[in-house]
Structure 1
């Protein structure tokens, strides 16, 4: 598969820069969405391409996901030097001690557990995913009307407990007692690494926050060199769009090939 000429040109410009960050969401971008989140696996060739990119000079690769860090590591099979950013930016594989919740946050999380169990009882077929700093209600597989009602019940908990950060997604809603956000995490990582530009791909509302944050990066030169890709349909502020996960792998392969060919200086 060849990339559309505008995307191919953008990949070439990005690949020629000395220091870059190549980051991607996991579910819906690197791994197809499935009914049971525990069954999610990267699409064929995806992780191999990312590992190859990570081996190139001046290149950092990161998986940036709403998943908690350890499930993200297990399902992706990612190993060093790939970086993992989990829980929407609240966890980082370089900091193994993980999140440190204060007493108030731990108490709120305990209350949230009870409230969400009540939601599940009222809406059979929904599932709760546990994260270090929050919980996620999943409705994938439910009738759309039933799923929407369950998600609304979960979102209402944010009004009951204003300290919770409510993050909607595709047939999910996350409620967290500590939250950073993918956009904030991406810009902070770019600052820390001192990269010239960031590539980011994703498919969901939280990824749209990432696209927007990279466009609004206070480093205006870096913002102008960003490369953002929406995977799948839906409104987007990303610069480009690809139809599915396999097409994103082709973008990864193009980045690797162009970066090897241009051999940017370290």
Structure 2
């Protein structure tokens, strides 16, 4: 029986350096980082060990832990198992929802009307591309094509992007087998930087796997303060090009990373 995945020695050293700061923000995406990507998004479940490690990190002094996801808050909370009044901050809908905010997301009349129009047009799109699934979110809709043959999936994604382009006020965000069409959008990068500033984090860790996470990596690195930018530790999960400083292979390796980070943070805060 094989042991836990081995982490790169440079990554282990970077985790130790990060953990030594007095106040830190530890943030991760959910799908593709803590939970494997699946055909039906509501079948997603975190791999063993990841969520407990995050909860344990959140219990340590000077440590803020956040899930930053494209999912809406309610399914993010349900699927991750994060407690309603627990220590984890949940940032949903690519930054447009925050678990700490009263009342959730508020859309104006124009945005509500746009979503109604979008629902009608997506109904037509489903008729044209059988097997396409549409996820309802408070601020938008997400077209899912996982499980479709590659040529059919690409045609459906192209059609969804064209639909989004017809409505210039929609924010169109492509991902792995998905296109999100949002009437209200913040972006993971903006949300991460704002959260780090809000909690006074001296150092930030962020792990993600998708195109939307690249915006987070870019925003954290794009800082006029070079010293602060150097204290932002980013990790890409899986294959593909990335702007992240480090990479791990999959969700199991991410669990090993979080356990290493937890051990380093416990040692640092015990001093």
For this structure pair, what is the TM-score category when the shorter chain's length is used for normalisation?
over 0.9
CA deviation after TM superposition for structure 1 residue 223, in Å: 1.4
Aligned residue in 2 for 1:162? 168
Q: Does 1:127 align with 2:133?
A: yes
User: Of the candidates 77, 81, 101, which is equivalent to residue 107 of structure 2?
Assistant: 101
* Match status 1:193 vs 2:213: no
Measured after TM superposition, the shift of residue 96 of structure 1 is: 3.4
Contact 1:54 1:82 in 2 (8 A): yes
Matched residue SS, 1:2 = coil
Does structure 1 residue 83 correspond to structure 2 residue 89?
yes
Distance 1:220 1:182 in 2: 21
Question: 2:225 and 2:77 mapped to 1: Cα distance?
Answer: 30
Deviation string for 1:155-212 (max 9, x for gaps)? 0012211000000000000000000000000000001001001100010000000000
SS in 1 for 2:242: coil
Gaps of at least 5 residues in structure 1 are none
User: Root-mean-square deviation (CA), in Å?
Assistant: 1.1
Contact 1:17 1:264 in 2 (8 A): no
Aligned to 1:205: 211
Asked whether the 8 Å contact 1:135–1:174 carries over to 2, the reply is yes
Distance in 2 between residues matched to 1:219 and 1:76, nearest whole Å: 34
Distance in 2 (CA, whole Å) between partners of 1:219 and 1:136 is 36
The answer for the alignment partner of 1:49 in structure 2 is: 53
Q: Find the counterpart in structure 2 of residue 70 from structure 1.
A: 74
Give the whole-Å Cα distance in 2 for the aligned partners of 1:163 and 1:218. Answer: 30
> How far apart are residue 239 of structure 1 and its match?
0.3
- 8 Å Cα contact 2:6/2:253 also seen in 1: no
> How many angstroms does 1:264 deviate by?
6.7
Task: Note the residue ranges of structure 2 that are not aligned, 5 or more in a row.
Answer: none
Matched positions, count: 265
Runs of 4+ residues deviating >4 angstroms: none
Q: Does 1:241 align with 2:247?
A: yes
Residues of 2 paired with 1:85 and 1:219: CA distance? 25
Could you tell me how far apart the structure 1 residues matched to 2:7 and 2:150 are? 35
By how many angstroms is 1:99 displaced? 1.1
Quote the Cα distance in structure 2 between the aligned partners of 1:187 and 1:251. Answer: 22
Answer yes or no: is the 8 Å Cα contact 1:24–1:62 preserved in 2.
yes
1:219–1:193 Cα change, 3 Å: farther
The question of 1:259 aligning with 2:265 is answered: yes
Q: SS of the residue aligned with 2:255?
A: helix
Q: Which TM-score applies when normalising by structure 2?
A: 0.96
1:125 aligned counterpart, secondary structure: coil
1:217 partnered with 2:226 = no
| Matching of residue 60 in structure 1 with residue 64 in structure 2 | yes
Q: In the alignment, what sits opposite 1:24?
A: 28
- The whole-number CA distance in structure 2 between the counterparts of 1:98 and 1:190 is 20
Q: Give the aligned partner of residue 44 of structure 2.
A: 40
Instruction: State the distance in 2 between where 1:48 and 1:212 align.
Output: 28
